[in-house]
Structure formats: structure tokens, C-alpha cells
Structure 1
């Protein structure tokens, strides 16, 4: 009997330890702000930018090189060759819209490859900030970060929906065409008009390349707002924590003052991590945002020319496809600028939070630390495309105004 009781007690201890481990794992799963980038990370693994864990290096290199030579390199070259050989204005505008968008997307894809080491650094900083929030366990902070993660993931799904619509329109256009045509105007060194086998092979290649490029574009266009959204969420969590400093006030309790001072130290450490996170995000988004601004302005003007001069009223599928491109590039810039503007506003609210804490009842050392922190927090956080153009809603408004000005000039010229 004692042996049975000892055995049962041991099993109970093991079950208790297992439950504790499960609870700890559940607690960690409660908050992982890097989950906002889970879709993007998976796409980068599939397209060869990041080696998946557990995959052999040789296999990874073989897959990455093959995929990117066939799609990232050759696909835009076929579009560019066709653009050079185009002799009519309608095809020129249509091809130019597609080619510019594809080249800009590949440029952003290469930029992700060049800054991939910074992605690991961002992941480390997010884990540090997550641990702090989990240690505090304040429901408002947890809610703010969960909402940020959810918003970032929704932005990816929005872009995915746009690219799915564009791909389906291309397929429908080929299916209902009276004559043979490709998914996208491209040049191939074979006579696909008279060869069934060549036509099927080219269509299969274009469909494969289109799907891969759409997946790449979806990740490349949605990771800037995702990072900005997560950064804004951590700023919001820190703002809530700073506003609570010193409340409720106990000026006659020295131990309470020491605790509040330690809490301020923790807030300052998190503020430093947020500054580092912002600087790293600035490095990876600077070129990507600049490329997006240039692509948007060019594509909008090209689509306007297509509508004004050479749009065939009977080719509704071409008009719809151009409209999807116009909507996509406009929405890409709007979402980036929207989240950039939110981040800037949140940094101002974080500065206000340092003023709003109960510093009057605290020690002189607390006030000195607060003054130094206030001096830095007054510098507004902002992302600059190319190091010069602020990623804000004001910039989006300027882009739209510039496009409208060009559109007006084209309309008068007509």
C-alpha cells in the first residue's frame, strides 16, 4: 500500500509539473507580437529569402536559386522584352502598367533579401518587449498588442484578396478571349500562336510565375504596415504603463517611492528598446516605401493615359484589370501612410504620458530621470522613405494631388 501511494503521489507530481509547463506555454502563447509577421515569414521561407528551420542548406539553396531564376529574374524580363517590342499605344500603356508594377515588386523583394539580418534583430526586440508586457500582465496592454497583431494580419489578408482578384481577372480574360492571348503581354522566343504545346507551356509558366509573384508581392507590400502596426502597439502599451506611474499616490511611503522609481527604470528600458526597434524598422522600410511611392505615381499616370487615350470600350476585361492595378497601388500607399501616421500620433501620446504620470509625489531622482526621458520623447517618431519623405497621410495626399495634376494636364492635352 505505501508503494502504491508513493507511486500515485509521484504520478500526481508529474501531472502537476506537466500542467505547470502547459500553463507556462499557454501564457507565452497569449502574447507573441511577432505573430503579426507569421504570414510574411512563411512566404519568405517558401520563396527562398529565409531558410526554414530543419531544412538542409544545399536543398534550400537549390530551391531558392531555381525558383528565383525562373520567376524573379525571367518573369519580368519577358514583360520588359514585350514592352520594348510594343508598337501600339494601347498595348504600350497596358504593358507599362504591368511591367512597372512587377519590377517595383521584385525590387522590394530584393530589398527584403538585403535587410534580412535586420528582421532577426526586430524579432529579438519584440521578444524583449513581449516579456515585459507578460511580466506586468495588465489587461489593457495585452489587449492593445493583441489588437495590433490582429490588424497586421488583416492587412495581409486584404492585400491577398486584391492579388487573388487580379489573378482571377487575368485567367477569365484568357478564357473568354476570342483569339489566343497570354495571361499578361510577354515575349517568348517561340511561335505560341500556331503551336498548341508551346501555348499551353507558356500559359502554365505564366500562371505559375503569376502566383509566385502575387505571393511575393502580397508579403512585400504588407510587411511595412505590419511592422508599423506592431511598433505602434508597443508604444501604446508603454503609454498605458507610464500613465499609471505613481498612482495611487503615497508621498509619505518611502518604499512606495522606490517601487515607482524601479517601474520608471523599466519603462525607460522599454522606451530605449522601442527607439532601437524604430531605428531598425526605418532601415528596412526606407527603400521599400520610396519604391512604392515611385511605383504608385507612375502606375496611376499610366492607367490615366490608358483610360484617356487608348482604352477600347469593348475590352472591359482590360479596363477592369487596369482598374485593379490602380486600386492596388493606391491602397498600398494609403495603408503604409495610414499606419505611419498612426505611429507618429502614438509617439506624441507617449510623450504626453510622461507628463501625465504622478511625478509630483516622487523623489528628486525620479524627476531627474523623467526630465531626461521627456527630452528624448519630444522627438516625434516617423518613418522616412528614402530618408527624406515622411510616411504620413499628408504625403499620401500629396501623391494623390500630384497624380490628379498630371491627369488634368493629360485631359487638357487631349
Structure 2
């Protein structure tokens, strides 16, 4: 399995191999049953998703407020819980969106296989292999980043003999007995571990799919640039190659039409809450937190940025790649081709003029500029809160 990350030992890979880690992760968290799933799997799926998607967001948010109002937890603990709870609010939406779209995501594989089959040159196959490896690396990178945050969050309280999160459990008191205390620890670790596992999947899949589609757009640009340059091909061969390039472009657009509504909903949900999360995290870091909490909050701050940054970056790269296609069409060897070729090239040029830009619910463009704007807005909120003198009152 690790060769999918290192790339060693993999000579030929298909585009669909980029999603192996993602779909295996979906199986682990219970939203993508394996072929021969039995009752135990569905019991596991019900347990994990009921706790993480239904109960967790409610009890975490309400519980930290109740405990803070009753002076059971400190301001630092309240803010640490609040910054995580805000992220949990969007988790049910992201989970429902991706779960309902899994069949459509798997349905993209035949089209990807058809696109892969067009490329036999070593340099083209190497680019497909790179995309397959990078897709799994992205999921793994998200996972390791979130795991680091989890370790720095749970280890200091455990060393001090406290429950990692003290998530509110109705009618349950962790201070009642040693057994209750260990029960609280198990629940905290289970909830945090699988919530972060869910987040890894829903935050990484968009980057993976955009990267793979962008790779095929780069391959198409290369292919178009070679049109008419092979002296061994007849004019009919060149025309057939051009027509196949047009078909390839249409298939890429079909893939984008499939993936955009799914990414649009999950990234829009994250856009809505990212500024408030970053603001609360900065307030906790700079005004209240001790050293260990500052480290954990810093890692959490970076993880929150990670939730949207790669997807926005690859969407920006996708747009840039799409703008290279009309140039490649114009610079191919069309002047030496016949009239039929020129007619098709005009049609192709017309349809390739429109650059590809992904949108979040048709309201915000998914790009680096939007991501930076939201981060800047969180700093504006933080500055406003600081000017209110909260830090001096702490």
C-alpha cells in the first residue's frame, strides 16, 4: 500500500489509482460498504456515523457552552472546544454530500480509463503515474497533519491525568469514579479520531479529483501542440487525431460537470465557517492559551487553512491549464492541413476559449484569491476583538 505514496515499484498506473486511499478511507468510516459487507460492517457504520456525524456536533457544541457557564471548564478549554465545535457544524453537510455522491465519483472511472488509453508515450504515461501517486499522497498528507494536531491535543491532558477533551455526555459524570473517567477518555479519543478521519476524506477528495483532471488537461495541451507535426501521418490521420482531441476535451468537461457540484457544496460549507474558526483559534492562542495549548492551536490553525488551501490552489492551476489550450490549438501545424482540418480547428478553438473556473455554490470562485480573502477576513475579526480589550481583561 505504501508504494502508492512513495511511487516505488509502480511502473504503470491508471488515473483511477489516485483515489485508492480515499475510497478505502470511506470504507473504514462506514460510508462505502465493501462488496460482501455483512451485518457487523453495518453495525460499525451505524456506530461511527451516529456518534461522529449526528451526536458529536450537537453534544460538543452544547456541552462546552454548558460546562463553561457552570464554571466546570476554564476559558482556555472552552475556546479550544469551541474552535473544534465550529468545524463540527459543517461535518454533517460534507458527509451527506460526499456519501450521496460516491456512486457518481466511482462512475467517473470508465471515462478516466478511456482518457488514459489514448496515451502511450513514456512521458505521458509518467504524468499519469505521477497523478496517481500524488492523489494518494494528498490524502496521506492530510491524514498525517490531522494526526499531529490530535496528538498535541490529547497527550498533554493525559500526562496531567485529565480527559483529553471532556466532551459532554448527557447523564454521565467523568468525576464520579475511575471507571467513568476512563470511559470519558475512550469516548473522547474515539470521537476525535474518527471525526478527524472523516475530515481527512472530505477535505482531501476535491484536491485529488481536480489534480487528476488537471493532469489530463495538461496531456491534452501537449497532444494538441503535436497536431500536424508527424510527417508519417496522412491528412486523414491528422483529422482523426484532431477529432479525437475534441472528444477528449468534451470528456474532460463531463468529468468537471460531475465533480463540480460535489466540491461546490463541501468547499462552500468550509468557506462559511473558516473565518470564525480562525478568529476563535487566534483569540485562544494569543490571549488565553498556555504553551502546550498554543502549540495545539497553532497546528489546528494550520489544519483549518489546509482544509481549503490545496483545493483552491489546484483549482487555480486548473484554470491556468485551461487557458493554455487555445494557445496550443493556435500554434499547432494547422496551416499545412486541408480545409476539413481547419473547419474542425475553428470549432475546437471556439469551444476552448472559455477558461475553466470552479465555483462554490455559484457565489465564490474556488481559487487562491478567495482563500486568502477569507484568511484576511479572520484577521480583521481578530483585530476587532483585540481592540475591544478582551486580551487585557483576561
TM-score, normalised with respect to structure 2: 0.89
Task: Report the alpha carbon displacement of residue 46 of structure 1 after superposing the two structures with TM.
Answer: 1.5
Residue in structure 2 matching 1:173, options 144, 149, 156: 156
Tell me the equivalent position of 2:190: 208
Deviates more, 1:353-362 or 1:205-214: 205-214
Task: Report the alpha carbon displacement of residue 285 of structure 1 after superposing the two structures with TM.
Answer: 0.2
Task: Report the alpha carbon displacement of residue 158 of structure 1 after superposing the two structures with TM.
Answer: 1.6
* Gap runs ≥5 in structure 2: 1-9, 390-394
Contact persistence 2:61–2:86 (CA under 8 A): no
Contact persistence 1:39–1:219 (CA under 8 A): no
Tell me the equivalent position of 1:302: 280
Cα distance change, pair 287–169 in 1 and its aligned pair in 2 (3 A):
same
Deviates more, 1:60-69 or 1:368-377: 60-69
Cα distance change, pair 184–107 in 1 and its aligned pair in 2 (3 A):
farther
Pairing 1:366–2:341 present: yes
Task: Report the alpha carbon displacement of residue 209 of structure 1 after superposing the two structures with TM.
Answer: 2.2
Residue in structure 1 matching 2:83, options 68, 79, 97: 97
What number of residue pairs does the alignment pair up?
A: 374
Task: Report the alpha carbon displacement of residue 89 of structure 1 after superposing the two structures with TM.
Answer: 4.3
Contact persistence 1:111–1:288 (CA under 8 A): yes
Tell me the equivalent position of 1:122: 108
Task: Report the alpha carbon displacement of residue 259 of structure 1 after superposing the two structures with TM.
Answer: 0.3
Q: Quote the Cα distance in structure 2 between the aligned partners of 1:105 and 1:350.
A: 37
* Gap runs ≥5 in structure 1: 1-27
Q: Quote the Cα distance in structure 2 between the aligned partners of 1:53 and 1:30.
A: 26
Cα distance change, pair 117–52 in 1 and its aligned pair in 2 (3 A):
same
Residue in structure 2 matching 1:144, options 119, 127, 134: 127
Contact persistence 2:228–2:337 (CA under 8 A): yes
Q: Calculate the aligned-residue CA RMSD, in Å.
A: 2.0
Tell me the equivalent position of 1:395: 370
Superposition map of 1:162-201 within 5 A: 162-177=145-160, 180-188=161-169, 189-201=171-183
Superposition map of 1:263-274 within 5 A: 263-274=241-252
List 4+ stretches of structure 1 deviating above 4 A.
none
Contact persistence 2:174–2:183 (CA under 8 A): no
Cα distance change, pair 53–351 in 1 and its aligned pair in 2 (3 A):
farther
Tell me the equivalent position of 2:7: none
Q: Quote the Cα distance in structure 2 between the aligned partners of 1:125 and 1:60.
A: 30
Rg larger for? 1
